[in-house]
Structure 1
Amino acid sequence: MNNAKDNFIVNRLKAFKYAFKGAWLLIRKEPSIKVQFTCAVIVTILGFILDISATEWIVQLLAIGLVLAVEGLNTAVEKIADFIHPEYHEKIGDIKDVAAGAVTFAAIIAAIIGLIIYIPKLL
C-alpha cells in the first residue's frame, strides 16, 4: 500500500513539473501570453503602489488568472487545430475564432475590473 501512495505522490510531483513547464513555454514562446503576462505584472505592481485592499487583490488575481488560463487554452486549441489541419479550413478557422473570442470575453471583464479598482484610486 505504501508503494501505491508513494507512486501517487511522485506522479503528482511530475504533473506539477509538466504544468510549470507548460506555463514557462507559454510565457517564453507565445506573443499573446507575453502581452497578457506583462499586463498582469504591471497591474500587480500598481496594486502595491496604490495599496489596494485584500478584496481588490482577490478580484484582481482572479481576473489575471482567468485571462492567463483562457489564453493558454486558446493557444492549445490553436496548436491542436493547426496540427490536425495545417492548411486553412473554414471550420478550423471558426473553432480558432471561438477560442479567441473566449479570451476576448475574459480580457474585457479583466479590464473592467481593473478600471473599477484603479480609477477611484487615480482620481
Structure 2
Amino acid sequence: MRNQPKYHFLKNWGYAIKGFAEIYKNEQSFRLEILTFTPLSISLFFFDFGYVLNIFLIFSMAFVLVVECLNSAIERAVDLASTDFHALAGAAKDAGSAAVMIANIITASLWCFAIFGKFYE
C-alpha cells in the first residue's frame, strides 16, 4: 500500500500551482513558450480562423506546455536518481526533449496552416 496522504482538492491544487511556479522559475524554455503563446492566444480574438481551428491552435499550445512540464519532471527524476553520467539517463532526457520538439513542430505546423490558409482564401 502506498504511503499517500488523504486527498484534499485545494491542497492538491496548491501542489500544482507550486509545480507550475517552480518550472516557470527554473526553465527558460517554459518561460519562452509562455512568452510566445500569450500573444498568439490573444491574436486569436482578431483572426477569424474558425472555431475548430482555434480550438486546435489553443490545444496545441497547451499540449506543448504539458509536454514541457513532463520533460522537466523526467529531468528532475533522472537528476535525483543519479549524479553520475549514465547513457540511459541521457537517453531519457533526450527522449523528453524530443517530445517537446515534436509538440512544438505540431504547434508551428498548425499555425502555419492557419496563417497561410488565411492568405490563400
TM range, smaller chain:
0.7 to 0.9
Which residue of structure 2 lines up, in the alignment, with residue 61 of structure 1? Answer: 58
- Matched AA of 1:90: A
- Matched AA of 1:77: I
- Matched AA of 2:67: V
How far 1:24 sits from its partner (Å)? Answer: 2.1
- Matched AA of 1:75: S
Q: Does 1:110 align with 2:107?
A: yes
Alignment gaps of 5+ in structure 1: 1-6
Aligned residue pairs, count: 115
TM-score normalised to the size of structure 2?
A: 0.84
The runs of 4+ residues in structure 1 deviating greater than 4 Å are: none
How far 1:122 sits from its partner (Å)? Answer: 5.0
Question: 1:88 pairs with 78, 85, 88, which one?
Answer: 85
| Most deviating of 71-80 and 34-43 | 34-43
TM-score normalised to the size of structure 1?
A: 0.83
Alignment gaps of 5+ in structure 2: 1-5
How far 1:88 sits from its partner (Å)? Answer: 1.7
- Matched AA of 1:27: Y
Aligned CA RMSD, in angstroms, stands at 1.7
Q: Does 1:72 align with 2:69?
A: yes
* Structure whose residues are more often helix by fraction: 1
How many percent of aligned residue pairs carry the same amino acid?
28
Alpha-carbon separation, structure 1, partners of 2:93 and 2:77 = 10
Residue deviations 1:40-90, cap 9 Å, x none?
Answer: 112112212324322122111110111000001001101111111122211
How far 1:108 sits from its partner (Å)? Answer: 0.6
